[in-house]
Structure 1
Amino acid sequence: MSQWNVDSIEGYLNYTMNLLELLNSISSSLSHLGHARLSLTHGLNLLEKEKSLSLARKHLKAIKLAGCFSTNFGKSFHTQDHKAKIFSGKELIVHEGVKEMKSIGFWVCGVLLSCLYGDFKSYMELRKIVGGFDDSLVATLDSKISDKLVKNKPIFSEIEEINDFVSHLVAGDEVRHDAAKELQRKLCELEKLFGDISKEVDHLFDDVMSQRSKLMDGFRLKK
């Protein structure tokens, strides 16, 4: 990295800054959904201790998804990345490498954020920024799920199942013990799922920050 030219360094730093922003968006969404899960868990605890559905109803509400993706994301990235430049030799290799990293990173983040937000805007916006995924290593995967993301409301099946249980649980005046137990089990599964995703996001964030620091340190030494 310390041997890269200025254009390659700017391109990589610009891409990784946007990737860090995406990872922060994922962490924020997971935090929002985590609070919703805790509220449901509290509602179930009230059911168990107080044996009163009326007391628990305040907390036994369907999980609402985390909002929508900002359409202002990556405007500076989009502008800088599409400047007309001619690369050759090692510069071309670095440029193509960063381009592939961008396609894979943005595709994964786009699909995940679409499931966390419950719409396909995240995926479509990131697809537009990178100019499509047809020439990327994720092209085959993308061709299999892109239509489904656009035509259907993307959402984690675990969240859908939990919301179905919640709606059935609070529909009547009597508490069904088996339904409450099943909901508790699914909330535990969701906690593990989000915990695993959160750990991976934190790991990727730290890794990207470390690589950025190494590149900038090497660039300073080069100067």
Structure 2
Amino acid sequence: MVLLLQKIDKLYSKLENYHHHNHNHQSQALSSSLEAFQTLVSSSLNRLFSSSKSAESEVPSFPWIQQCFELIPIINNGFAKLVVAIDYPMTKWEADSVEEYLQFTLKLLELCNSITCSLSHLGKERMSLSHGLSLVESSSPSLAVERLRQIQVQPKSLSKDFRFEGNEEHGKERFSITKRSVFHQALVVMEGMVFWLCGILMTGIVGDSKPYLEMRKSGGRLVSSLISGLDLSVGEVIVENKGMLKEVIEINDSVAALVSAVGIGQKSKTEADELQRRLEVFERLVEDLGKEVDCVFNNVLAGRNQLLNGFQHQKQ
């Protein structure tokens, strides 16, 4: 009987050691997956800002804010790879994970719509300037001067549309290492980074630093640790220039030069040609960014539909 009890004790001891070892191995694997995702985010940001002087001293340009926005699908794809790496597919998500993801993607879809609306406003401003430019060589230069107004930005506050209650607390809790907690922490990072990048983009498009200042508050400590130095350098440039993009400033300067030349009766072909060139470049930039925003919107919408359709099939 004693021998039997000793054998049972040894068996239980081996099982406990096995489960403890297996749990540690799983925790390390989950932690490694989360660290890999955070490294992807950090390295992507560092590449963007190290290859661009815009974050340091120059006025932000249209191509630069588009590069910022292009990081969003990279971060989204990294999150998708993490979900696969930790073996936590949509079909295994718990209710709170589903709710978190749906809330994040809904906000991102709304942001894409706001960006599209602001780009449409810029497109209308460009068309108005193009029309005014066409009147310069007509018989009514005074009418041309009336139409040649500088691009009027569209200040927009996001505080009424986007609420981030509780996001400031993200990163303060101590999580046990589980698939669910790793998913949550990665989603917090993705959400904070995406909104931070959208804040940069919106500030550039609307020519107002408010969207950036509002969106930067949403990330919490996890995100702040990833963007600490970058946030300071970007914030200084944005606030100093009031969010105005380099191309908009240049177009407005060209408009002022052309209006001045027409007003004093000078030949204005040089100024008109320069404004025409800048407007053509600006048109392409607006269109390219619009396509990128549409692509992100469609991909995010497809992911939401996939998740919702999967749950509908489960219920059936």
Q: Same fold (TM over 0.5)?
A: yes
| Contact 2:169/2:220 (8 A) holds in 1 | no
| Contact 2:104/2:191 (8 A) holds in 1 | yes
Superposed counterparts of 1:1-223, under 5 Å: 1-48=90-137, 50-75=138-163, 77-79=164-166, 88-131=177-220, 133-136=223-226, 138-171=227-260, 172-174=263-265, 175-223=267-315
Give the match's secondary structure for 2:146. Answer: coil
CA RMSD of aligned residues (A): 2.2
Give 1:220 shift: 2.1
Give 1:141 shift: 3.3
The alpha-carbon distance between structure 1 residues 13 and 35, as it changes in their structure 2 partners (threshold 3 A), is same
Give 1:221 shift: 2.4
| Contact 1:113/1:122 (8 A) holds in 2 | yes
Tell me, in whole angstroms, the C-alpha distance in 2 between the residues paired with 1:220 and 1:87.
31
The alpha-carbon distance between structure 1 residues 187 and 142, as it changes in their structure 2 partners (threshold 3 A), is same
Q: Which moved more, 1:96-105 or 1:79-88?
A: 79-88
Tell me, in whole angstroms, the C-alpha distance in 2 between the residues paired with 1:210 and 1:7.
20
Amino acid in the other structure paired with 1:22:
L
Larger radius of gyration: 2
Tell me, in whole angstroms, the C-alpha distance in 2 between the residues paired with 1:91 and 1:205.
26
TM-score (norm 2): 0.65
Tell me, in whole angstroms, the C-alpha distance in 2 between the residues paired with 1:62 and 1:116.
15
Aligned residues: 220
Unaligned runs of 5+ in 1: none
Amino acid in the other structure paired with 1:134:
S
| Contact 2:193/2:219 (8 A) holds in 1 | no
TM-score (norm 1): 0.90
Amino acid in the other structure paired with 2:129:
L
| Contact 2:203/2:211 (8 A) holds in 1 | yes
| Contact 2:168/2:217 (8 A) holds in 1 | no
Amino acid in the other structure paired with 1:60:
L
2:53 is matched with: none
| Contact 2:189/2:219 (8 A) holds in 1 | no
Give 1:3 shift: 1.1
| Contact 2:168/2:219 (8 A) holds in 1 | no
Tell me, in whole angstroms, the C-alpha distance in 1 between the residues paired with 2:92 and 2:218.
28
Tell me, in whole angstroms, the C-alpha distance in 1 between the residues paired with 2:203 and 2:182.
31
Unaligned runs of 5+ in 2: 1-89
| Contact 2:196/2:212 (8 A) holds in 1 | yes
